[in-house]
Structure 1
Amino acid sequence: MTQRDVVFPAGRQALYERNRYSPAIRSNGFLFVSGQVGSTEEGSPVPELQAQVRQAFNNLKAILAAADCTFDDVVDVTVFIVDPEAKFEAIWEVVPEFWGNAPHPTLTAVGVTWLYGFEFEIKVIAKLPEGGKG
């Protein structure tokens, strides 16, 4: 089996190792990022929905940066939302702070009943920069 090319953001490697998963893997010119939630450095949920969404995006931004990517490199997004009917609009007020102008990546939103104490999770696939690793 080929060794996985794992990307760790600064300061959070112990959290990923404790939970036994990789934050992101470089493969065939793409970066596959695990679901990111609005967690503090020790892993607990940030209180308040919009603050939690911002933290999830900031956690995602740190992983993208560790792979020399930005939100502009993201091509596919999946979000998981607890009670999306009640929370979707509040969440989507935060999204433009990170995505910027259209065209935006593809998006799949999934309503879920449980996210380990979180209300929002985002996972993405990004195109690695030309000439970069992976």
Structure 2
Amino acid sequence: MNSAFDLSCECVGVMPTIEVQDYISTMPVRDDLPDSRAPVSQVGTAEQMNREIIIPDEMREIVSRAGYAPAVKVGETIYVVGQVGRTLDLEVIEDPREQFRAMWENLRIVLNAAGCTFDDVVEMTSYHVAMSKHMNVFREAKNDVFPKGTYAWTRIGVSELAHPGLLAEVKCVAVKRQH
């Protein structure tokens, strides 16, 4: 057994097993949370647990239809659900450039309702149907409104989104800056 893999396999075979119930019983109990047995490091402070649901007036219809919040604020961090390019009547916009512009406008509306701007975004994930076909137009629309080089961005190609005709969806995390 010369390889590290073989050695690690031997070690795993001799490690003692521990019952989950025994492990849980040794965790510190949080007195400020009812019946909690979660480790303190995983629970967070009371301030971190306070959540504010962000629903811009313009998006009340989608909330009533779909049942999810456009964003949730925890402390100074805002988690924005995926935004797409639709009209206020929830109709998909056919023209790719206009669809992407509407998507960024919808994101701006949610961030604004949370007291943030595009400058507060620290992480963004975008999902694309026919990514290579539309990426140049997508970037042009993004660059018209979004600051360059101030956030982490992951782009993912997908076969479809929630409604036929949608070409992209973007979700993000923003941290409200102290002004």
Q: Fold match, TM over 0.5?
A: yes
User: Does residue 103 in structure 1 map to residue 103 in structure 2?
Assistant: no
Shift, 1:60, TM fit? 0.5
Aligned residues: 130
Shift, 1:43, TM fit? 1.2
Following superposition of structure 1 onto structure 2, how do residues 60-71 of structure 1 map, counting pairs within 5 Å? 60-71=107-118
SS across alignment from 2:87 = coil
2:97 counterpart (44, 50, 54):
50
Shift, 1:3, TM fit? 6.6
CA distance in 1, matches of 2:72, 2:88: 20
Answer yes or no: is the 8 Å Cα contact 1:7–1:25 preserved in 2.
yes
Tell me the equivalent position of 2:177.
Answer: 129
Tell me the equivalent position of 1:119.
Answer: 167
Structure with greater proportional strand content: 1
Shift, 1:14, TM fit? 2.1
1:21 counterpart (68, 72, 77):
68
CA distance in 2, matches of 1:73, 1:3: 20
SS across alignment from 2:141 = coil
Structure with greater proportional helix content: 2
Distance change (3 Å), C-alpha of 1:30 and 1:3: closer
1:48-99 Cα shifts (integer Å, max 9, x gaps): 0010000000000001111110000000000000011211112111111111
1:92-131 Cα shifts (integer Å, max 9, x gaps): 111111113x433110000001112211111010002338
SS across alignment from 1:25 = strand
1:79 counterpart (126, 141, 149):
126
SS across alignment from 2:58 = coil
* Structure 2 stretches lacking a partner, 5+ long: 1-32, 34-48
Q: Give the % identical residues.
A: 28
Output the TM-score relative to the length of structure 1: 0.89
Tell me the equivalent position of 2:82.
Answer: 35
Output the TM-score relative to the length of structure 2: 0.68
CA distance in 2, matches of 1:15, 1:41: 9
| Structure ID, larger Rg | 2
- What's the RMSD between the two structures over aligned residues? 1.7
Corresponding letter in the other structure for 1:54: R
* Structure 1 stretches lacking a partner, 5+ long: none
- Segments ≥4 residues shifted beyond 6 Å: none
Answer yes or no: is the 8 Å Cα contact 2:124–2:173 preserved in 1.
yes
CA distance in 1, matches of 2:150, 2:134: 21
